[in-house]
Amino acid sequence: MKNSDLIIFRKNKTMKKISLLTGLISACFLNAQIKFEKGYFVTNSGKRSEAFIKNLDWKNNPTEFEFKTDEASEVRKESIKNIQEFGIDHERKYIRKTVKVDQSVEILDKISDRKEPEFKEETVFLKYLVEGKANLFYYENSELKKFFFNIDNSQVVPLIYKSYYLNSSQISYNEDYKQTLSKSLNCDLDKNRIEKIQYKANDLSKAFMDYNECIHTGTAVNYNQVSEKRDLFNLNVRPGINFSSFETVLSSYFGGNGEVTKFNRESSFRIGLEAEFVLPFNKNKWALFAEPTFQYYKTEKESVVYPGQSFEMKSTRTVDYKSIEIPFGVRHYFFINDQSKIFVNLAYVFDFNLKSEIKYDYQILEISSGNNMAFGIGYKYKDRFSAEFRATTHRNLLQNYNTFTSRYQTMSFILGYTLF
């Protein structure tokens, strides 16, 4: 087989594997259960309707939502034009308000040189963080994160915080929200404590809850506690089995086809420790992970050296490859029910060689491996037990050689147990 034909053949095999993985991922999307949870909405006329609302755990404040009148009915949609309030029981609540939104952003290359807020009047769904005599609201879009409040159903006003350039190299901060808190939440909030309150949901929510408790208004609701209680970090032990293949290609000095040595496909044990960081939005469906993993591949193959020549001989070529792989990736979950979920992974894998070598006839080749990509699909049960099938793209283990190239590829079956 010519080199060009060999390359085409390998590409076709790779495309078939990618197509298979794509099909499996698509099936997950189609079969993943859509979660509708008990809630309500209030129309412009003031009519309140109980409904099952699709809880997307919105990162950015929504402008519309999907709902069903009962669990068996068809899915319908409502928008901010027709709805003045909606909520999902005991978890979140949104209210429509026309407010002044400061357009100042905290992105370094977009920070303003003006101290004053840059207001734009907008009609938005504000998210309740605290509901009581004093209400705290939150608004977020792709670039803005802003807080608002009111007391005794008065007009909703912004809490002002913005960064701005004093000069080309110095940034200062407009912390007008602290003065507003000092004037408005004037019950058991001294100056020293107010100075320590950061422009963050946790700090502001605690201040508003303390104020509501201080003035004895009865029960105030802290919706922010729902987010605080989420388990956003998991440490997982991940043993498994690798099924690895390897081949080398020695270039011909005379311009002909290179010599291809295909080693045996071998199975070997792998063990990893995965740190998973669940992103606090979209119902915990997205996560980032890193998984330091020990893996090895050891095999040998008998080959004929100088075939057809009078000095033809046999040679045993061996591979002893050990490394620490560290995949950094993103994971998406698809919930089947409260106990089961399917997930898909995409990761970039860094590989660190551990004194590995290839004995090739009369020479020893030092392994210097490259990085590659990994794709996975798996199942998790009760947020504790998991199983995953993972495949990687090819990795070249002989990067430092001009006359050699190689292709190392692994498919893995991985079991997982969540320690915490």
Any idea which of 23-37, 122-136, 378-392 has the lowest mean pLDDT? 23-37
* Within a domain: 94: no
Residue range 261-281: mean pLDDT, rounded: 91
| Cβ atoms 259, 250 nearer than 8 A | yes
Q: What is the mean pLDDT of the chain?
A: 86
Instruction: Kindly state whether residues 146 and 250 are assigned to the same domain.
Output: no
- 21 within a domain of the structure (yes/no): no
Question: Of the spans 1-5, 110-114, 290-294, 313-317, which averages the highest pLDDT?
Answer: 290-294
Instruction: Residue 119: give the domain boundaries.
Output: 100-228
> Do 332 and 343 have their domain in common?
yes
Q: How confident is the model at residue 142 (pLDDT cuts 50, 70, 90)?
A: confident
Q: Is residue 52, in this structure, part of any structural domain at all?
A: yes
194 is a domain residue: yes
In this prediction, residue 4 carries a pLDDT of: 45
**Looking at the structure, do residues 321 and 377 belong to the same domain, yes or no?**
yes
Helix, coil or strand: residue 159: strand
Convert 13-26 into a string of H (helix), E (strand) and C (coil): HHHHHHHHHHHHHH
Note whether residue 8 is domain-resident. no
Is residue 134 one of the residues assigned to a domain? yes
Half-sphere exposure of 166 (CA within 13 A, CB side): 6
The domain tally of the chain equals 3
Last-in-domain residue among 191, 208, 228: 228
Q: Are residues 153 and 289 in the same domain?
A: no
Please, what's the b/e burial string for 178-197 (b: 16 or more CB within 10 A of its CB; e: otherwise)? bebbbebbeeebeeeebeeb
The pLDDT score that the predictor gives to residue 16 is 54
- pLDDT-based confidence at residue 15 (cuts at 50, 70, 90): low
User: pLDDT tens-digit profile of 378-414?
Assistant: 999 988 999 999 999 999 999 888 888 889 999 999 9
Q: What is the CA radius of gyration of the chain?
A: 30
pLDDT tens-digit series, residues 276-328: 998 877 777 889 999 999 999 999 888 776 666 666 677 788 999 999 999 99
In whole angstroms, what is the distance from residue 190 CA to residue 178 CA? 11
φ, ψ of residue 288 to 5 degrees: the values are -110, 145
Judge if 64 and 107 occupy the same domain.
no
Q: For the domain that residue 324 is a member of, what is the CATH number?
A: 2.40.160.20
For residues 283 and 394, membership in a common domain is answered with yes
Residues 261, 220 share a domain = no
Residue 226 has a pLDDT of 61
Q: Examine the fold and report which residue of 67, 89, 111 is the final residue of a domain before the chain moves on.
A: 89
Q: End of a domain among 228, 253, 274?
A: 228
